[in-house]
Structure 1
Amino acid sequence: MSETWITERLHDHYAQSLRVDEMLYDSKTEHQRLKVFQNGTFGRILTLDDVVQTTEGDNFIYHEMLTHVPILAHGAAKRVLIIGGGDGGMAREALRHASVEHVTMVEIDAGVVDFSKEYLPMLSQGAFDDPRLNLVINDGAAFMRETDQKFDVIVVDSTDPIGPGEVLFTNTFYGHAARALTDDGIIVTQNGVPFMQGDELTGTMRAFKTLFADHSCYLATIPTYAGGPMAFGWGSHSKSARTVSLADLEKRFAAAGIETDYYTPEVHKAAFALPGYVKKLFP
């Protein structure tokens, strides 16, 4: 019996392949080609233009680290903005915090939301039905430019800086985001795998250096984002949020009453310890 494989060619000199045990969805929307297929190791996998976006098996690492780190570092986040995140996984994790009163999620492609509800319900786990969630179908850059709302935490759950996601890596976008944060607000961003995509992190850190009182990045290893640990950009108007003590994080985590499969207060602190090659990417 012949096997079908999808090869992700995001990088010029490196590729990864995933076996398609069963193709569940394959359709081209206005913006991109979406596929959902079953894989024996990772379960259901979502790709956009054959680039892995999320999987049933390892999505918890990505979603937990992009939500719980800024929310627990902030300590009193009530309003969260998610740019992207059409599969609902980021909203799922943010809404697990009872202290979060309102989540605005801005997704450019309604098709991603619709088929994620049908084909990837295990990612959102009912998040789209939570009354605290306001789903906005709009271009994330346009929303950020036009909004007059203020947010305690902004999560940029973007695709890579090609196609529709490209505008979410610009200095202009980050400037609008800085304006939309509260005085002690935090923004976190998906910045790719720095060993393979170092320019992404350098560009974001260059912008954050001028916009925020504190800027850095933190790391997590997600198996399907191949090529090394992934970097998450960190910018905050607060100089103290990144250095909150382990004891305080443990108290906040316990008070939140949530169970996680990757995030722990110890991992939170350790994620900001950067290897030399990552530090060298900072401008």
Structure 2
Amino acid sequence: MERWVEETLHGGFRVRLKADRVLFDSETEHQQLIIFENSDFGRVMMLDGVVQLSTRDEFVYHEMMAHVPLFAHGKAKRVLIVGGGDGGVLREVLKHPEVKSATLCEIDRSVIDLAREHFPDVSAGAFDDKRTRVVIADGTKFVHETDDRFDVILVDSTDPIGPGAVLFTKEFYTDCRRALAPGGVLVTQNGLPFLQASELKQSASYFRDLFDDAFAYLATTPSYFGGSMSYGWATDDKDLRHHKLKKIERRYKKAGRFPTRYWRPDMQLAAFALPTYIRELVET
């Protein structure tokens, strides 16, 4: 009998994916997790009824979350990833030779363990890199209490339901600001502006209260159904999202021109060109 798995994130919009083979389907300590094979998207992970990862297109989200802020910053040595238990963002962060340490704070150990078992190519050895530190903890608690200061903080969270909801609050963003080193950058997963406009609008409002530069950038990941994905952007250095193409190209060359499938120096600039309806969410 055929099995179809439905994504339930949106109130008036449903998508179903055919599960050709189910590899895992159970409650973890924090959330419902299913991993299955699909002929179009490859191996898929869903948490609480929402697609988190597809092996066919994971490179889009992971590259854009990591490389845009790191190449904008230019000399980030200490990076914090909140969430990201699949290891994809960690993999991309560690491609930057100037990064000396990457801390990954994940609330659900099961996500890391299952991702390492079923998605080994996503982390691609990143968890075993000597620069990696894994902390199993509530990200809000970790950021509130840490004495470390980070050049870049990447919030690779689920949507604001279940355990991910607290990662969209002003209190959490305030703690992130405290944990940033001077000139640091905060980047957040902020959903699909077409279907989740209020999510981006609220986060951008908080960013404007806390930082000198609050904005967003975009990338399109096919398995995140409903349009472009937005990444929230917050920093006190207003110059970081306005670099010229040649500067990004020089930084990419210095980093070794590692291979990418979505990010490119010109995509770095293009990602900040927002359609009017999204720009209005960010600026008003």
Instruction: Give the TM-score of the pair, scaled to structure 2.
Output: 0.98
Displacement after TM superposition at 1:256 (Å): 1.1
Displacement after TM superposition at 1:149 (Å): 0.8
CA distance in 1, matches of 2:3, 2:254: 47
- Paired amino acid for 2:274: L
2:88 is aligned to: 89
Q: How does 1:217-228 map to 2 (within 5 A)?
A: 217-228=216-227
CA distance in 2, matches of 1:167, 1:15: 25
Correspondence 1:187 to 2:186 = yes
Q: How does 1:22-171 map to 2 (within 5 A)?
A: 22-171=21-170
CA distance in 2, matches of 1:32, 1:98: 35
Displacement after TM superposition at 1:50 (Å): 2.2
1:261 is aligned to: 261
1:276 is aligned to: 276
The runs of 5 or more residues in structure 1 that have no matched partner are none
1:20 is aligned to: 19
Displacement after TM superposition at 1:15 (Å): 1.0
2:228 is aligned to: 229
CA distance in 1, matches of 2:279, 2:139: 29
CA distance in 2, matches of 1:145, 1:199: 25
SS class of match (1:15): strand
CA distance in 2, matches of 1:29, 1:228: 29
SS class of match (2:254): helix
Q: Percent identity?
A: 51
Displacement after TM superposition at 1:281 (Å): 1.1
SS class of match (1:9): strand
Runs of at least 4 residues of structure 1 off by over 2 A? none
- Paired amino acid for 1:273: A
Displacement after TM superposition at 1:59 (Å): 0.5
Task: Give the alignment's Cα RMSD to 1 decimal.
Answer: 0.8
- Paired amino acid for 2:263: Y
Instruction: Give the TM-score of the pair, scaled to structure 1.
Output: 0.98
- Paired amino acid for 2:248: L
- Paired amino acid for 1:192: G
Give CA-to-partner distance per residue, 1:46-74, whole Å, 9 cap, x none.
01122100111101000000000000000
The runs of 5 or more residues in structure 2 that have no matched partner are none
Displacement after TM superposition at 1:122 (Å): 1.2
